[in-house]
Structure 1
Amino acid sequence: MKRILFATLLTLCTTGPAMAWSNHAMASYRAFEGMPEVARAATVPAEPLESFLAAQAQPIAQLLAQQDAWAKAHIAHYPPLSAALRFDAQVAQQGPQALRKAFLTALRVSPESRLALYIQPDPWSTAPQAEPLAHDTVSALPARDKDDDDHHFVRLSPGEAVAPLAVLASASDEPDYGMDLNLWEDSPSPWGARYGFGKIPFGNPSLAFSTQAPFHMGFYHESPVIYMAAGFLKRTYPLLRIHQYRGLSELAFRSGHTYWGWRFAGLAMHYVQDLTQPYHASLAPDFSATRLIGINLLAMLGMPGAKNNMIILLSNRHFVLERYESQMVQADAQGRQTGSVEQALHDTRTDAGYPAWSDQYVRDTVANQAHDLGVTVTSQMLATVPTGYVNDPSFDFGLHAKDIDLMTEVARQGAAPKAALESTIATLMRNAGAHSRNLVRGILLDVSQH
């Protein structure tokens, strides 16, 4: 059975976009603009990463060692940090660039990570009178030509006062800017082989963007049959990133580096939000283990049509869900109107109904909830979105997405189907907002108690 399922499951993981929500910052602005602890927090002075590292080198070294020990105990198949990669506070004596490289290496993120001083302005606010930044100043990835996704960056100067909401929201999109690229033994990078993560568990090691997928997806709630066939599914590391950045956020807050307190909180929040997307928390929504086995048996008998069709369908549904959410957010921002997505992101009524934040929260609450919603979300798309986009394997939506006005296409199906789909997406956004706020509440609570 393991051999039967392995090839299919491995292929499934390589399809579809590796990002979850198209532009996390836009949703994060809405989720936190009504949370007083963030929206009314005093402005903070922008601080270069190197300044924070130099001031807190020894505490950072201690924290990263503690985080490595935690990961050994709590994350399946975690490869311990080698002695050669450990952060040594003495490297601060070698200058800011050596310090920066040592820190990024100890985190095992791409050494090319920009971590520039910038914000992504809130489209609902007045455009800032500040210097725009080129995309490659902020991101190690080429500008994305996807889903009408519109990223604008403006420069911050060291010491410049900036609203915590802007820092937090902007950072929530940043892990999609190349921080988790090419971290594998078989990646075309000089650092991948040193990091110790082994060969990429799924994804194409030669396609840079897909190499981040195992850090942004977590398949924690699949059938035991699936895990028996594909143990590689357990080699995912969003929980590692959340723990790392959450701890750094708390250290920064406690030591008076409030800019980096908010910045690291935003980085941690990205992975929480990723796992609210059903296609990041569920391997193949609406496909049972039995069905997967049958499809792959046909492929092994020389009839790969069903398998190829399934891969296209899953990829299309993943793209459609993200594109529709993105278009809803952009349309409301352009029209300065509060639609169902904004209302859901503002809604705090469910926040207190979740458990208190803990190391288990993301796996047991966030990912579990998203996994359970996979079938419902898929069924809603099948009932609402034009069939050619979500149930026709002869059409690759990803290749044509930028030319499709999905909101207009769905509107043609009628008001009731459109409202039903948008209600389903609003549910996902309500969850994303609640879990994001609960993360930040957990950070601020820990800081206040220590």
Structure 2
Amino acid sequence: MKRLLVTALLTLSATSPAWAWSNHALASYRAFESMPQVAQAAPVAAEPLEAFLAAQAQPLAQLLSAQDAWAQQHIATYPPLPTALRFDPAVAAQGPQALRKAFLTALRISPQSRFALYVQPDPWAAPPQAERMAHDLVSALPARDKDGGGHHFVALRAGEMVAPLAVLASASDEPDYGMDLNLWEDSPSDWGPGYGFGKIPFGNPNLDFSTQAPFHMGYYHEAPVIYMAAGFLKRTYPMLRIHQYAGLSELAFRTGHPYWGWRFAGLALHYLQDLTQPYHASLAPGFSSARLIGINLLAMLGMPGAKNDMVILLSNRHFVLERYESQMIQASAQARQSGSVDQALRDTSTDASHPAWSETYVRHTVAQQAHTLGPTVTEQMLASVQPGYVNDPSFDFGVHAKAIDLVAEVASQGEAQRQVLESTIATLMRNFGAHSRNMVRGILASTDTR
């Protein structure tokens, strides 16, 4: 049984989409415009990364060492940072590029990470006067348009004053720009083999976007039989990234670098927000362990159809959920009229119903909630979306998504179906907003400077 289940889970996890919400920045703007500590915070001066690193080299070395020790204690599958990658503050004497490289490799993120000075403007605001910034100056990944919305970047000058809300929201989308690519022993990169993470636990090591998945998904609440058969599912590291970037944010705020306080907080937010997506906190929402075993048993007997169908169905449902949310939030921005998603993101009524921010909040509150909602969300999609999109394994929604007006398609099914799906997405986005604000409250509460 273990061999059967391992084969099924490897197939399933290897084909799971690596992206969660399509454009985190658009949702983060709405989530934080209702939080005065962010929306009304004084503008901050944009600061190059190298300037922050040079000013705080010694505290950074101490922080990164402490974070490595924390991860060894709190993340069971965490591989310790190799000695050769430890951050040495003396590297500052070698110049800004050497300092930057030492910092990125000590974090064990891609050395191709841009960390440009930029913002992704709020589409609700007046169009920025600055010229567009080329995509490849911000992202190490090619431009993608699976959600139909694209991304719009504008450059900041060093010293330019910028609203914290813009810094925070923009950075919340940034980890999808290549920061977690090719970090594995079997990655086709110059850096991955030396990072010490071992071979990729799931996903295709030769597909760039797939290699980031173990840092953006957290399978913390599967049935014991799943872990008995497939311990590799425990090798996911969103909690590592959250701890790293939240700690850097706190350091930046405490030492008089508020731009990087907000920027690092936004990076930490990304991983928390990913885990509000049920398909990032559950391996196979709507499929029981027994059903997984049965499906793979058929495959081992020479009948792989059910397993292949399951993979396509899960991928389609994942993309449908995100496509609908993306279309809704973009339509609201274009019309300058709030829809149910915008209202849910701004809604602070549930913020205090969750525990106070702590190191276990992401695992025991965010991921647990999303995992629990997975079967219900799946049932509601099946009840409201055209069966061809969510219950037909012969149709690959990801391939055709750009050409599909999903909002119009669901509306054509009837008002009741539309309300079911929009209520489902509103629930998820209300959680997205509440958990995001609670994280930032926790970061700000730990610092003396706001």
Residue number in structure 1 paired with 2:390: 390
Q: Is the 8 A contact 2:49 2:115 kept in 1?
A: yes
Does 1:418 find its partner at 2:418? yes
Q: Give every structure 1 segment of 4 or more consecutive aligned residues whose post-TM-superposition deviation is greater than 2 Å.
A: none
Instruction: Kindly indicate whether the alpha-carbon contact (under 8 Å) linking 1:119 and 1:153 is maintained by their aligned counterparts in 2.
Output: yes
Q: CA deviation at 1:416?
A: 1.2
What code does the residue aligned with 1:412 have?
A: S
Identity %: 78
The separation in 2 between residues aligned to 1:262 and 1:443, in whole angstroms, is 10
Equivalences for residues 60-75 of structure 1 within 5 A: 60-75=60-75
CA distance in 1: counterparts of 2:260 and 2:449, whole angstroms: 19
RMSD of Structure 2 on Structure 1 (CA): 0.9
Question: Alpha-carbon deviations, 1:245-285, whole Å to 9, x = none?
Answer: 00000000000000000000000000000000000000000
Matched residue type, 1:174 = E
Aligned length: 450
1:244-255 to 2 correspondence within 5 Å?
244-255=244-255
Query: What is the CA distance between 1:10 and its match in structure 2?
Result: 1.0
In structure 1, what is the equivalent of residue 89 of structure 2?
A: 89
Superimposed CA distance per residue, residues 159-210 of structure 1 (whole angstroms, 9 cap, x where no aligned partner):
0000000000000000000000000001000100000000000000000011
Q: Partner of 1:131 in structure 2?
A: 131
Name the counterpart of 1:302: 302
Conserved? CA contact 1:16–1:319, under 8 Å: no
Measured after TM superposition, the shift of residue 149 of structure 1 is 2.6
Q: CA deviation at 1:145?
A: 2.5
Give the residue type in structure 2 aligned to 1:72.
Q
TM-score w.r.t. the length of structure 1 is 0.99
Residue 319 of structure 1 corresponds to 319
TM-score by length of structure 2 reads 0.99
Deviations 1:405-430 (A, max 9, x none): 10111000001110110011000000
Amino acid at match of 2:362: V
Residues 254, 449 of structure 2: 8 Å contact kept: no
Name the amino acid aligned to 1:434.
A
**1:16–1:316: 8 Å Cα contact kept in structure 2?**
no
Query: 1: distance between equivalents of 2:422 and 2:233?
Result: 31
Distance, in Å, in 2 between the alignment partners of 1:173 and 1:3 is 38
Deviations 1:307-336 (A, max 9, x none): 000010001001100111000100111111
Tell me the alpha carbon deviations over residues 119-160 of structure 1, each in whole angstroms, 9 at most, x when there is no partner: 000000001101210000000000002120320000000000
Residues 365-395 of structure 1 deviation map (CA, whole Å, 9 limit, x = unaligned): 0000000000010001000000000000011
CA offsets per residue over residues 15-57 of structure 1, 9 Å max, x none? Answer: 2421110000000000001110000000000000000000000
**Equivalent residue, structure 1, for 2:159:** 159
Residue 342 of structure 1 is matched in structure 2 by 342
CA distance, structure 1, for counterparts of residue 292 and residue 174 of structure 2 = 35
Mapped partners of 1:377, 1:10: distance in 2: 24
Where does the alignment leave 5 or more consecutive residues of structure 1 unmatched? none
In structure 1, the residue matched to 2:182 is 182
Alignment of 1:202-241 (within 5 A): 202-241=202-241
Alignment of 1:363-374 (within 5 A): 363-374=363-374
Q: Secondary structure at the match of 2:392?
A: coil
Distance 1:238 1:220 in 2: 11
Instruction: Give me the whole-angstrom Cα distance separating, in 1, the residues matched to 2:104 and 2:249.
Output: 15
- For the residues of structure 1 that align with 2:253 and 2:237, how far apart are their CA atoms? 25
- Say if 1:108 and 1:195, in contact at 8 Å, map to a contact too: yes
Structure 1 382/146 Cα, relative in aligned 2: closer, same or farther at 3 Å?
same
The one-letter code matched in structure 2 to 1:279 is: Y
Match of 1:337, as an amino acid?
A: Q
- Where 2:129 maps in the other structure, the secondary structure is coil
The reply on whether 1:442 has 2:442 as its aligned counterpart is yes
